[in-house]
Amino acid sequence: MNSTNKHLPAEKRRAVTVEAVVELAGEQNPSEITAAAIAKRMGLTQGALFRHFPNKEAILQAVMEWVAERLISRIEKAVQKESSPLAALESMFMAHVEFITEYPGIPRILFGELQRSGETAPKRMAQTLMRLYGDRLNRLFEQGKRCGELDEKLDNGAAAMLFIGTIQGLVMQSLIAGDISHMRRNAPKVFAIYQRGIRSAS
């Protein structure tokens, strides 16, 4: 970030703020990111930052909206280019992994928000993202059953939980290893195992 941020239009300033938070979350615990740190990364004063956001929670809500919009858009593009539900599930899985590889601070922010006690706007946005994601998976599962690619007795809820949990597991392993590219290397092998569990035996 540099001094040119001082002269940006309001909407662009908000977008740059979100990007600064995502960058910082990739470097440190999101709960420890202060308004001062965000402003410093952007080359602004805290006063200038809070002309666009009333408080830190509003910044986090904007971050969650940014994440939801971009992740859902990316997985939709990945799904639409495939001709079969199973291939679409794999593309969705890989697109999600690639998204996190590009923005490693995002899972840290998500985990942090979902663990907070009580209801907050950022937490509600995270919950909405998970619901939209689950709905997209459910549609693919139903399509897969209808065309015979997936086991007709597949429990959609459990399959969605395992799909999301598998990605979360890859994230955790990468964080433990201190190497986010660990996800990209292992995702194809992990998805292959997941796929064997949901596909039709015929």
**Domain ranges within the chain, ordered by starting residue:** 1-53, 56-198
Which pTM value belongs to this model? Answer: 0.86
Give the tens place of pLDDT for each residue, 54-111.
888 888 888 988 999 999 999 999 999 999 999 999 999 999 999 999 998 888 888 8
b (16+ CB within 10 A) / e for 116-140: eeeeeebbebbeebeeebbebbeeb
**How confident is the model over 172-196, as a mean pLDDT?**
92
What pLDDT does 145 receive? 97
CATH of domain 1-53: 1.10.10
What would the CATH number be for the domain defined by 56-198?
Answer: 1.10.357.10
Q: How many CB atoms lie within 10 A of CB 201?
A: 4
Query: Which tokens is 66 given?
Result: 């940014």
Instruction: Summarize pLDDT for 1-27 with one digit per residue, the tens.
Output: 444 555 556 678 788 899 999 999 988
Question: Rounded mean pLDDT of 164-191?
Answer: 92
Asked whether the CA dihedral 84, 87, 100, 77 is positive or negative, the reply is: negative
